[in-house]
Amino acid sequence: MSLWRAVLIVSLVAVIVSASSARTLVVDQQKTGAIRSVNAAIANAQNGDEILVMQGYYRESVEINKLVSIKGYGATIDGMGRTVFRMIAYGSSISNLTILGSGRDPAVVIEGYASVTGCNIKNASTGIAAYRGVVSNNTISATAYGIRLNGSAIVEKNTISGPLGAGIEVRCNDSIIASNTVTSAGNAIDVAGNNNTVVFNDVCSSNIGIRLKSAKSNMIMNNTCENNRIAGVYLEDSRNNSISSNRLLCNGNGLLMKSSSGNAVIGNTVEKNEYGISLRGSGGNMLRENMLISNIYNMRIEAGNLGDLRLISDPRARMDDNSFNQSIDESNTIDGRPVLYLVGSKNLSVEKDYGFIGLIDCENITVRDQSISNSSAAIMLVGVINSRISDCRLSRSEIGVSILDSGDCLVENTTAEACGIGFWFGRSQDILVRRSTALDCTESGFRLEGDRRSRITDSQVENCTAGMHLLDALSSEIVRSRISSNREDGIRLVRSHRSTVNENEVTGNSNGIAISGSNQCVLAMNNASSNAIGIRIEQLSGGSAVDNTALRNREGIFVNGVRGFQFIGNNISMNERFGMRMGSSSGCNISDNRFVGNGMVGLSLTDCNDNRIYHNSFIDNGSMFGQNAVDNGSNLWDMGPVIGGNYWSDHKVSGNPGDSPKSVPSRGVDRYPFERDNGWRSAALV
């Protein structure tokens, strides 16, 4: 039996009874000889009677077990910690009463097809618990739940405020929730059933406006959801629902889906939210004719679980959970411009002006000359091969360009400004970025995670938190780029083995170049100057730093926990404190470097052993303490009488090399220092 038919039958029964033998009973505390309580009136009533409760304060808990209607005229009913009305008779009704609840029990419980209309329910843990019936035009202030439905009901035109749980909780099927106003709730309307209709409600200032949890085939239409902290409409584990013609304004997320699929999102206005539409781990949804306006981030589409980014995947068989397989056409707009979302397309050139671009499982697509702002990712590629992004201007997005599980793609002449991350590449391979710029990003300018053989060249990062960040990005390259004025590391490599950092200008950062846990990397011909630390190398084995410049940093090069590394031909000079400071490192080769005019010490070794230091120039270091170098005595400062040791500005000898030992505080010895700076080169010529 449908809900509407059941309500119609109840109404007809009430009309028949009323027409045959209805009486009016009056409850009045002020009138001598009148009925003094509602319970007494019910005891004297017959089916179809009307009970009028006059002005007064009544302390009682009432069970309505007869088909009666109870109307209030200024009456207040206080259940004194118990349920005030328990309505078990089909067709019974209460209206126009002030009902005071307290304690844990609901103020009103509807067990039969009954109605509660025009009541003011205050101070209740739960205002109304209904198994069936009609709840309309009530004002409810509650501490836990406003209205709880466990059976089909009509809930309309109620005003509910203040519940910490839900304003209206629907745990049933086939109910109608219409034209209610709910404010300051946990979840304003919370639906966990199927085939319910939620229309024309106004829900605001709650955690969530309308939530669907494990719900199917519900219709959410023509609602206004405003100023809700998490989301205006939130679907979790929900399928085949219709979300249409809603106004979602100034929420955390206008529409948020998590693990939900098969839903139709049509004709909604999504305006001034932090995130407009967010689909997280939610594939197979349809979006049509939605207008996204002035959201901080308009469109967000993410995998539910990215998995291990270190495990490279074939772009043709990417490792996600189908989160990106959406049906989104150009009828959706962002600030008046269409959304482009292509799935499985090939051989296209995209030049029309779009508000968001998503390419999924595509091949040979060219995107050029786009100006996109205010999306989670302005341009998103997932499972894409052999495609190109060029001459784009991206701003105020969480990510400017996002590339996941893709290969053989090119990004060039593109700028990402004031984004979270300018360019993010995850679990991709053979990505080439050239002549591109990241400015004023709150996280990284460029971030590569789990990539293979990707290359950034001739690009620029300025005034971001981190400049170029490689994490588990094997055999990747950063070449001829300018990285300046970033608050943390200019270039950062973490577990990015066999990577190359060459010919970059890295200035004005916290750490210029920072490498940790990245074996067999090559740093060559970089200018890492005017940073807090020019080059920082930690916890790795093998690799080399060759012909780099580290000038006017607080520290030139810091090395800790490193084995078998080569430091060759670097200019490490004019740094405020240490030229090069090493700790807990062994087996390194330090040769042909220039240590000139560093404030405290040119080269300092602490807890180091078996490092070879030769053919270096130590000139006028240690203006604070007068020390060109310091050592703990477990390292080798020369390579014997033929190859020799180092040149020392504070130790005069004859010969290249000479045989007058140089003492290196506190226990090191260079047995064969050189007479002239670079004397080993002239000696080699002879």
Residue 665 covered by a domain: no
**What is the rounded average pLDDT of the residues 555-583?**
97
Phi-psi region of 458 (alpha: psi -120 to 50; beta: other; left: phi over 0): left
| Average of per-residue pLDDT values in the chain | 94
- Long-range contacts, 439-447 (Cβ 8 Å, 24+): 439/415, 439/463, 439/464, 440/464, 441/416, 441/417, 441/465, 444/468, 444/469, 445/416, 445/421, 445/483, 445/486, 446/421, 446/422, 447/421, 447/423, 447/471
3 state SS for 406-475: CECCEEECCEEECCCEEEEEECCECCEEECCEEECCCCEEEEEECCECCEEECCEEECCCEEEEEECCEC
* Structure confidence at residue 306 (pLDDT): 77
Confidence of residue 7 (pLDDT cuts 50, 70, 90): very low
Asked if the model's pLDDT at residue 598 lies above 60, the reply is yes
- Locate 211 and state its tokens: 């939530």
Confidence of residue 681 (pLDDT cuts 50, 70, 90): confident
Q: Is 189 helix (H, G, I), strand (E, B) or coil?
A: strand
* Residue that is last in its domain, among 93, 126, 161: 161
E strands within 201-294? 202-204, 208-213, 219-221, 224-226, 231-236, 242-244, 247-249, 253-258, 264-266, 269-271, 275-280, 286-288, 291-293
What is the C-alpha R_g of the chain? 37
CATH assignment at residue 33 = 2.160.20.10
* Residue that is last in its domain, among 101, 126, 161: 161
- Long-range contacts, 364-367 (Cβ 8 Å, 24+): 366/390, 367/392
Residue 585 covered by a domain: no
Beta bridge partners of 176: 154, 197
* Structure confidence at residue 518 (pLDDT): 97
CA-to-CA distance for 39 and 60, rounded, in angstroms?
Answer: 8
* Structure confidence at residue 459 (pLDDT): 98
Q: Which H helix or E strand runs over 646?
A: none
Q: Look-up: residue for tokens 């939605």? A: 290
| Model pLDDT for residues 191-213, shown as the tens digit of each residue | 999 999 999 999 999 999 999 99
Beta bridge partners of 483: 461, 506
Residue 402 covered by a domain: yes
Q: Which H helix or E strand runs over 376?
A: none
Given a contact cutoff of 8 angstroms between Cβ atoms, the answer to whether 586 and 561 are in contact is: no
Closest CA to 51 of 17, 23, 75, 19: 23
* Residue that is last in its domain, among 142, 161, 180: 161
| Model pLDDT for residues 514-544, shown as the tens digit of each residue | 999 999 999 999 999 999 999 999 999 999 9
Confidence of residue 17 (pLDDT cuts 50, 70, 90): very low
Given a contact cutoff of 8 angstroms between Cβ atoms, the answer to whether 301 and 259 are in contact is: no
**What is the rounded average pLDDT of the residues 91-98?**
98
CA-to-CA distance for 315 and 311, rounded, in angstroms?
Answer: 12
- Locate 641 and state its tokens: 């009488």
> CB count, 10 Å around CB of 226?
21
Closest CA to 477 of 407, 530, 429: 429
| Model pLDDT for residues 659-677, shown as the tens digit of each residue | 899 999 988 999 999 999 9
| Model pLDDT for residues 397-435, shown as the tens digit of each residue | 999 999 999 999 999 999 999 999 999 999 999 999 999
| Model pLDDT for residues 125-171, shown as the tens digit of each residue | 999 999 999 999 999 998 899 999 999 999 999 999 999 999 999 99
Confidence of residue 309 (pLDDT cuts 50, 70, 90): confident
Q: Is 280 helix (H, G, I), strand (E, B) or coil?
A: strand
Query: Within the chain, how many helices (H) and strands (E) appear?
Result: 4, 79
Range of the domain at 43: 1-161
Q: Which H helix or E strand runs over 196?
A: none
> What is the number of structural domains in the chain?
2
**What is the rounded average pLDDT of the residues 18-35?**
82
- In degrees and rounded to multiples of 5, residue 235 shows phi and psi of -110, 130
Confidence of residue 315 (pLDDT cuts 50, 70, 90): low
Asked if the model's pLDDT at residue 683 lies above 60, the reply is no
Residue 179 covered by a domain: no
Q: Is 272 helix (H, G, I), strand (E, B) or coil?
A: coil
CA-to-CA distance for 158 and 603, rounded, in angstroms?
Answer: 77
**What is the rounded average pLDDT of the residues 81-107?**
95
E strands within 259-413? 264-266, 269-271, 275-280, 286-288, 291-293, 297-302, 327-328, 333-334, 337-343, 346-350, 356-360, 363-368, 371-373, 377-382, 388-390, 393-395, 399-404, 410-412
Residue 228 covered by a domain: no
CA-to-CA distance for 51 and 57, rounded, in angstroms?
Answer: 16
Beta bridge partners of 210: 189, 233
Least confident of 29-43, 211-225, 238-252, 456-470: 29-43
- Locate 416 and state its tokens: 């990402």
* Structure confidence at residue 682 (pLDDT): 76
Residue 472 covered by a domain: no
Q: Which residue has the higher pLDDT, 515 or 103?
A: 515
Q: What angle do CA 142, 146, 147 make, to 5 degrees?
A: 155
Asked if the model's pLDDT at residue 16 lies above 50, the reply is no
Q: Are strands 466-471 and 377-382 parallel, antiparallel or unpaired?
A: unpaired
pTM to 2 decimals? 0.90
* Structure confidence at residue 108 (pLDDT): 97
Asked if the model's pLDDT at residue 685 lies above 50, the reply is no
Beta bridge partners of 160: 140, 182
Residue 507 covered by a domain: no
Cα atoms in the Cβ-side hemisphere of radius 13 Å centred on 424: 22
- Locate 365 and state its tokens: 């697509």
* Structure confidence at residue 32 (pLDDT): 81
Q: Look-up: residue for tokens 């090191």? A: 668
| Model pLDDT for residues 479-499, shown as the tens digit of each residue | 999 999 999 999 999 999 999
- Locate 370 and state its tokens: 């786009």
Residue 495 covered by a domain: no
